[in-house]
Structures are given as structure tokens and as C-alpha cells.
Structure 1
Amino acid sequence: MNKSVKIIVSRLKRGMVRAYSMTEILIVLCIIGIILLMVLPNQTAIISQAKSIEAQAMLNQVYGLQKSNFYRFSKYSSNLEELGFEQELTVDEGGQAVYKIEIIDATNDSFLARATSVSDLDSDGSFNTWEIDHKKMLTEVIKE
């Protein structure tokens, strides 16, 4: 054996190994925790914006299906199943969808569809809501 291996073996036999103390490890973990707490509140707005893209995409799909239905039958439908839209299971039903889609109003000349969040994304008591109409006006009715 070479000299450095003999030194390590002799230190192991004596029970002395160079390492960090428990106090040093706890201090580092506390610092990391404090940094995370400072960064996470700034990320909630970005998270809610990303989740609202789901609502916009689903409402645009409903718009396309409504337009197709209008060209075929000269009227808008008030039934999502009739349009061929399949609502994914929401998070409160065990699925992954954050928004519940519904058609609020449908006549021969117009329609209004709404996507409402099933969970309060930023815990402020208001549920994010988006709407789209027959003119493809996509608006955020209740902001998150």
C-alpha cells in the first residue's frame, strides 16, 4: 500500500475522518430554505399565467366546435357533448384539468362559453374565470 492509503486506514481505525459537522449542515439547509421562501412568492403569478393557458386553449377549442356546428346547422349549441367537446377530469375529480368548461348562453346568432378554475390558485378567495363569445373575444372576467 502506498503512504496516503496507510494514513487513511490509520485514521479510520482511530475513528477520525474529516467531515462537516451537523451544525454546519443545518446552517446550510436553513440558508437554502430562506432563499426558497424569498423566491417562491414571486413565482405564483407565473404559475397562474401558465395555468390560464389551459383555459384559453379549451375555450378556443369550444369556439372552433361552435363555429363548425353553426356552419352545419345554422345555430350555436348549448350542449358540449353535442359539439363533441370532452371535458377532462378536473383536479377535484382526480384528473389534471384546472378549469371547468361550460356554455353559459347559446342562441341562433351567438354563444358564450366560460372556463372557471376549480381551485383557488393564489388563495385569495377568487376563482380565475375566462369567457369566449361568437366573435372569438377571449376575456378574463375574474383575474387570479
Structure 2
Amino acid sequence: MLAYKNKKKGFVDAFSLAEILIVLAIMGILIMLVVPNQTGVASRTKSLEAQQELKMIHNLQYAYFLQFSKYSLDLQTINYIPHKSVLSGGTANYEISIIEATPAGFKAKAEAVVDFNGDGKKNIWEIDQEGVLKEVQPD
């Protein structure tokens, strides 16, 4: 409540200390409710990089399969040029690898090079010859 004082006696309208403390307490509670929900936003956004890179691997593998009737275990063979990782001064947050390749299919993996939320787990995504993206380990 606004403390009303009589201006004729030299007082002005002002907030009391209790009113200010109540407002600060409410703001603190609201901040505590919002901040934990925002921590996952960064890791979800960064995981889009893994998904895009794996979709590119899928497209390159498909083109290679159409030409040679098999999938490749080598990223250079399918003409994939990896981006420089953040650990070596680049911008890539994920390391891309092909973990298995047979004439019938393949599986590629994108593993985070950093722990986005500091929980000790690194985000891992996989894709197969059907183009099915799967988050193997959330961050």
C-alpha cells in the first residue's frame, strides 16, 4: 500500500520499507521459477546443430549408396567436411562419426564436445539409413 502522508506538514507520498521488501520477495520468487526452465533452452538449441549435421550425413550417404550400392564408414569418402570444433578454436559443438556401415545400412553419431549444462553428461544423437534421428543421451 502506498503510505499517504500529509503534504502540508512537510511529508511526501512514499513506499514503506515493508512494501519494497514484499515486492522484492515476489520478484525473487518469480525469478527462481523462470530461470531453471531456461537452462535447457541452450542445450536444445545447440542440439539442432547435431541434427542438421546428421541429416547432411544421411543425404551424403544416400548419394554414395545410389552410386556404389553400399554405405561408407569414412566421412571423407562421402565428401563430408567436418567443422572445426570449439575445443580447437572453431564453432562446432559436436563431433560427427560413422559408427557402423554395411551394404544394407549405416549409423552415424554426433557427440557433443562440451557439457552444455554441466551435469557431467554430453549430448549424443544418432541417425540411420532411414533418416531416423534419435537422441541417445540427453544433456
The question of a shared fold, defined as TM-score above 0.5 by the shorter chain, is answered with yes
Q: Which structure 2 residue ranges, 5 or more long, are not aligned?
A: 1-27
Query: 1 or 2, which has the higher helix percentage?
Result: 1
For 1:120 and 1:140, locate their aligned partners in 2 and report how far apart those are by CA, in whole Å. 15
Q: Which structure 1 residue ranges, 5 or more long, are not aligned?
A: 1-33
Q: Are positions 1:71 and 2:66 aligned together? A: yes
For 2:90 and 2:38, locate their aligned partners in 1 and report how far apart those are by CA, in whole Å. 24
For 2:98 and 2:75, locate their aligned partners in 1 and report how far apart those are by CA, in whole Å. 7
Which runs of 4 or more aligned residues in structure 1 lie more than 2 Å from their structure 2 counterparts after TM superposition?
37-42
Q: Which residue of 1 aligns with 2:40?
A: 45
For 2:36 and 2:92, locate their aligned partners in 1 and report how far apart those are by CA, in whole Å. 23
Q: 1:93 Cα shift?
A: 1.1
User: Which structure has the bigger radius of gyration?
Assistant: 1
Q: Which residue of 1 aligns with 2:85?
A: 90
With normalisation by structure 1, the TM-score equals: 0.73
Q: Are positions 1:107 and 2:102 aligned together? A: yes
Q: Which residue of 1 aligns with 2:51?
A: 56
For 1:133 and 1:72, locate their aligned partners in 2 and report how far apart those are by CA, in whole Å. 18
Q: CA RMSD in A?
A: 2.0
With normalisation by structure 2, the TM-score equals: 0.75
Q: Which residue of 1 aligns with 2:115?
A: 120
Q: Which residue of 2 aligns with 1:11?
A: none
User: How many residues are aligned here?
Assistant: 113
Identity of aligned residues (%): 44
